Structure 1
Amino acid sequence: MSFLKKVVLITGASSGIGAETAIHLAQLGASLSITGRNKHSLDKVAEQCGQPKPFVIIGDLTNENDVKNIIDLTIKHYGKLDVLVNNAGIFELGSIETASLEQYNNIFNVNVRSIFQLTVLAVPHLIKTKGNIVNISSVVGLLPLRNSLIYCMSKAALNHFTRCVALELGLRQVRVNAVNPGLVKTHIFRNCEMNQEQLKIFFEKLKEWHALGRNGDALEIAKTIAFLASDDASFITGVTLSVDGGMHIMSPALPSFV
């Protein structure tokens, strides 16, 4: 599998799955454009990617001008775009009784609205290269989960967005797929109102939610993203692929996060 001469844009690349994906694709020869809000963290990821270093763009996906700049600067720097990896996302706890409209807006602005805008801007360039899109969703976009209502809704929306856009762009030879990870220990959980000890217990407990009896690793997700983005997956589109250690075959109503 090679990404030589392929330009790949990855959002949310400063940590977790986005960072691992950047490092893995760099090893496969990709020319990378990586973006996020934390310059220090992005620079660290860029160092780990080796030479040639990725093109680093600092931006907030909830800012429409920043989103436009991410695409414009990538095209200005590389002249084209082959792969868009929509990885950035946020997670917050909340049920129908506790969640607020503000929380709804926060989550949907990052997890859905920004992806819509970035994809709209990227599509003309992907049509030119017959490129592809990989959206990073979640297994809870397929399964209900207590106390995570808005997050689950946002990922369900992203799954269907993936299918609809794949259908619309199929005849233009642009593939669109999504990865639905199970539990992977990343910084996305830092805003879920648990301290370090509670998070440790939480991650240990969640091993039981997976048929394989363990949580996932960010590199496992990164390798799946690379496969779907590669020419090896040239006949795959509209797929929402669960990479979740069998979480999707467990109880149809998973326990609450807290």
Structure 2
Amino acid sequence: MTVPSDSVWFTDRVAIVTGAGSGIGRATAIAFAEAGAHVLGVGRRQDALNITAQQHPRIAVLAADIRATHAPQAIIDAAVDRWDRVDVLVNNAGATTIMPLADATAQGIANLFDLHVTAPSLLARAALPHLQQTHGSIINLSSTYGHRPASGVAHYAASKAALEQLTRCWALELATTGIRVNALAPGPTESEALTAAGLPEPMLNEIKRDEAGRIPLGRRGEPDEVATWVLRLADPAAAWLTGQILTIDGGLELT
């Protein structure tokens, strides 16, 4: 991908990227590494993480479920033990879940909020002392559906809306420490998310065609297009930007 010309700032900085085994997370890990950062890519699947690590020598990986009790501290410790600092935390790990109200279960709802709200919160808490030292940045990955309604995904959308409000509240709370907190809200982006949701291929293809047809720019996004903006939000050139939700969805939220 093309790295912004001012990204020399990332040289020898340290970024932690969750959900780094595919899609936006993999693209973001590669983008930071190409910009000079050391990257700890975190995900549940070691085989997928290994493919990410092979893309650049500055990417190290750690297989972990961020929802596990001791995972947040273990992830931060792994980065600090290796590079002695943390500059950027990218809370990207997530799952798309089709769950109409008629099919909603307590466990299904809890799983979404554990992944999209609780785990990022505890990871940010564990990173806090190190981000204070570096005047670092937290970037949360939301979704267009964090602020745009859609049928059949109410609890997914609600969990992303919660993440957006966390972003705003943390930005206020942490401003005096020099830590900036922002979020990206991508629209439908090419990734393994729909496949991971267990949808049959004909339905998956139909969803993709329908999404592309509803996007004013006429197509789904590419992971690199989102990763570019993760770097821009983390860059000190954006030093006066905090508490913002940047939607990058080809104009879908306008419809």
Q: How does 1:85-164 map to 2 (within 5 A)?
A: 85-164=90-169
2:3 aligns with none
* CA distances 1:196-226 after superposition (whole Å, capped 9, x unpaired): 2321222111112212111111100000101
Shift of 1:96: 2.2
Whether the 8 Å contact between 2:95 and 2:197 is mirrored in structure 1 is no
Aligned partners of 2:106, 2:195: CA distance in 1, in Å?
21
| Alignment match, 2:178 | 173
> Is residue 225 of structure 2 the alignment partner of residue 220 of structure 1?
yes
SS in 2 for 1:34: strand
Greater Cα shift, 158-167 or 202-211: 202-211
Deviations 1:165-187 (A, max 9, x none): 00011111110000000100211
1:178 is paired with a residue of what secondary structure?
Answer: strand
Superposition RMSD in Å: 1.1
TM-score normalised by length of structure 1? 0.93
CA distance in 2, matches of 1:203, 1:222: 21
Hey, what does 2:201 align to over in structure 1? 196
Give CA-to-partner distance per residue, 1:75-104, whole Å, 9 cap, x none: 111101000000000121112222111100
The more displaced of 175-184 and 210-219 is 210-219
Alignment-derived partner of residue 32 in structure 1: 39
Task: Say how many residue pairs are matched.
Answer: 248
Q: Which runs of 5+ in 1 are unaligned?
A: 251-258
Distance 1:11 1:45 in 2: 12
Q: Is contact 2:30–2:59 with CA below 8 Å preserved after alignment?
A: no
1:42 and 2:49 aligned: yes
Contact 1:179/1:242 (<8 A) preserved:
yes
Q: Which amino acid aligns with 1:41?
A: A
Alignment counterpart, residue 243 of structure 1, candidates 238, 244, 248: 248
Contact 1:60 1:67 in 2 (8 A): no
Q: Which runs of 4+ in 1 moved over 4 A?
A: none
- 1:4 aligns with 11
Distance 1:179 1:201 in 2: 26
Aligned to 1:54: 59
The one-letter code sitting in structure 2 at the alignment partner of 1:181 is P
Shift of 1:193: 4.0
Conserved? CA contact 1:85–1:134, under 8 Å = yes
SS of residue matched to 1:223: helix
- Structure 1, 120-129 or 65-74: larger mean CA deviation: 65-74
Of stretches 204-213 and 153-162 in structure 1, the one that deviates more from structure 2 is 204-213
Q: Does 1:234 align with 2:239?
A: yes
How many Å apart are 1:122 and its aligned residue?
Answer: 0.7
Equivalent residue number for residue 256 of structure 1? none
Rounded Cα–Cα distance in structure 2 between residues aligned with 1:13 and 1:129:
23
- Residue 84 (structure 1) aligned to one of 68, 85, 89: 89
Contact 2:18 / 2:90 at 8 angstroms: preserved in 1?
yes
Query: Greater shift after overlay, 58-67 or 176-185?
Result: 58-67
The CA deviation at 1:194 is 2.0
